[in-house]
Amino acid sequence: MIRMLLRVLGHEYAVPMRRTMVLMTITAIAEGSSYALLVPVLRALFGSAPGDAVPWLIAFGAAVAVYAVLRYTSDLSGMRVGTTMLRGMYHRLGDHLARLPIGWYSSGRVGEVSVMASRGLLQAMGVVAHLLAPFISACVTPLTIIAVMLAFNGRMGLAALAAVPIVAAIQIWTGRSTAAGDAESAERGHEATGRVVEYLQAQPVLRAGGRTAERFRLLDDSLREVQHASRRSTLSALPGVVGLTLTVQAMFTVLLVLGAYLALGGDIGAAEVLTILVLAARCADPLLSLAEIGGGLRGARSELARLDTVLRTEPLREPREPIRPERHDLEFESVAFQYGDRTVIDDVSLSVPEGQRLAVVGPSGAGKSTLLQLLARFYDVDAGVVRVGGVDVRAISTEVLMARIAIVFQDVYLFDGTIEENVRLGRPDAGEAEVRAAATAARLDEVIERLPGGWAANVGEGGALLSGGERQRVSIARALLKNAPIVLLDEVTSALDPVNEAAVHDGIERLMAGRTVVMVAHRLRTVRRADRIVFLDGGRIVEEGSHDELLRRGGRYADFWNVWSPSGEKDMQKEGRAAGTAPGILPA
């Protein structure tokens, strides 16, 4: 357990951890040893001169005082090491999560990681702060008392010692027999938390479906599973708890019978028997607490195992000798990529010269967004190479690559803060004037004027207090402020109404100016202006060329264009740019 804790935390904590454990062990020995002084106290009290007990009583009081000081110091040390480890663990987990491929973050993981980062970490780190001292005390104190008994009376000491292997065997057996149940119970608990998160997030969908009062069946099922799993886990631990109680009772009874037998035979006096029984009673409490502490330790162990699994997940590999690309042209060379065993990008080769715009078009599920994500190295390719400025993205440090790329997604996430804070995320060290200029270019100033708080208006969690179009303007302002030479746009305007779309469109035009752009778009107005268009289907490029070339070819892109024609035609009329399009290809 401790080894696992140190592996998860890092071995820099080994020294303070060992020091604390030594202190806790000394404290437990001090506790057990202090009971040794009860022997002369009881002997004197039951002997001919009870007054002789006074100096021993004073010594006993002093020993208890020493124990109290040690206990305070060791508990404090446990708390300090525990909280330091907790802080270290938060940093370690945070650093690791930031280096994991974006693909690792599936929806289920969000719930799992949030439980792990809150309850899981506290429970795992609570081992040092709260469980280690009672555990060491529950093991070492009884052993010390038995050593005192052995010194006091060999036969009775041996009888007490016989309980030790039985207690150890019960603990080991309970640990093994409950491991599966505990793991299942923890697993179901994590699942249920994920369902609760889902339930909260799905409120609008559930209500839209008219399920306001009805309970969420998936969550109900999950909670029922938690109940069953925790019942199974409790039942599997029960024989261990009962076994431990019976063993302690049996030890006590054996000592009582043996004491009575020895006393009747005249081998020892009543005072000695009483002393042994008092010592045995002092053993009982810590031994019985082992059952509860064991349960806590097992729970913490399963949380630690979870943390261990996350920390062992391979992060995106950083290059040993990173190369900084000098140019910003983009290239895919025979790229293949799979989600699990499903090929999503299949032998794709394409290039985008610096400063040009490539549009990626195709049916839903064709792999368009995945193509963008491979460019930003959200995932590593399974075959082939993705290059930025002629350099394999795997040879560029994540920091440098991310500094060169600005990404605008259809779904914008804003942090719970002011509009200004959210725009500033694009470049935290930007000056006031730069932030304002980016906002104006993204036509965010119109939004700011409307909002009661202006720049200081709070956007709410995830940007919930803004409309979709307003959120999109914030994200474009963010990207403009970043001023990256490469821009990736993923269906930025697909979900917007015409007014917002026009505003966002202006911002996007400014964002794209003079930059290397790859855009995934359904609105053909944007696509038409691209220098080059690739039509993707089933992860393969099936057509490639300029808008006019592809229309003339009359293939998949032309079909696509025909389906979208009403809006395309309108767009063109609005822009008065129909001149470049081949006559007769425009839908009637």
Ligand X SMILES: Nc1ncnc2c1ncn2[C@@H]1O[C@H](COP(=O)(O)OP(=O)(O)OP(=O)(O)O)[C@@H](O)[C@H]1O
CB of 368 to ligand X, least distance (A): 4
Three-state SS for 380?
coil
Nearer to ligand X, 365 or 498 (CB): 365
| 159-166 contacts at long range (C-beta below 8 A, 24 or more positions apart) | 159/251, 159/254, 159/255, 159/258, 160/251, 160/255, 160/280, 160/283, 162/251, 162/254, 163/247, 163/248, 163/250, 163/251, 163/287, 166/247
Nearer to ligand X, 339 or 413 (CB): 339
Nearer to ligand X, 367 or 485 (CB): 367
Judged by CB under 6 A, the chain residues 487 through 526 that form the site for ligand X are none
CB of 369 to ligand X, least distance (A): 3
For residue 311 the two structure tokens come to 């920390």
Nearer to ligand X, 346 or 569 (CB): 346
Nearer to ligand X, 107 or 118 (CB): 107
Q: Which of 6, 15, 21, 20 is nearest to 88 (CA)?
A: 6
Nearer to ligand X, 362 or 389 (CB): 362
Judged by CB under 6 A, the chain residues 368 through 427 that form the site for ligand X are 368-370
- Pick the stretch among 24-32, 138-146, 215-223, 359-367 that binds ligand X (CB under 6 A): 359-367
Among 121, 297, 344, 408, binds ligand X (CB under 6 A): 344
- What is residue 443's DSSP assignment? T
CB of 372 to ligand X, least distance (A): 8
- Pick the stretch among 70-78, 307-315, 367-375, 388-396 that binds ligand X (CB under 6 A): 367-375
For 384, phi then psi, to 5°, come to 80, -170
Among 295, 367, 463, 469, binds ligand X (CB under 6 A): 367
Q: Within 13 Å and on the Cβ side, how many CA atoms surround 181?
A: 18
Is the CB of residue 362 less than 8 Å from the CB of residue 537? yes
Q: Does 364 bind ligand X (CB under 6 A)?
A: yes
Q: Which of 376, 439, 380, 430 is nearest to 404 (CA)?
A: 376
- Pick the stretch among 307-315, 364-372, 397-405, 457-465 that binds ligand X (CB under 6 A): 364-372
Task: Name the strands in the sheet holding 405-408, side by side, starting at the edge strand that comes first in the sequence.
Answer: 405-408, 486-490, 516-520, 357-361, 532-537, 540-545
Nearer to ligand X, 81 or 348 (CB): 348
- The set of residues, in sequence order, having a beta carbon less than 8 Å from that of 585 and lying 6+ positions away, is 551, 552, 554, 558, 561
Among 365, 498, 554, 580, binds ligand X (CB under 6 A): 365
Judged by CB under 6 A, the chain residues 73 through 112 that form the site for ligand X are 103, 106
- The binding site for ligand X (CB under 6 A) comprises 103, 106, 339, 344, 362, 364-370
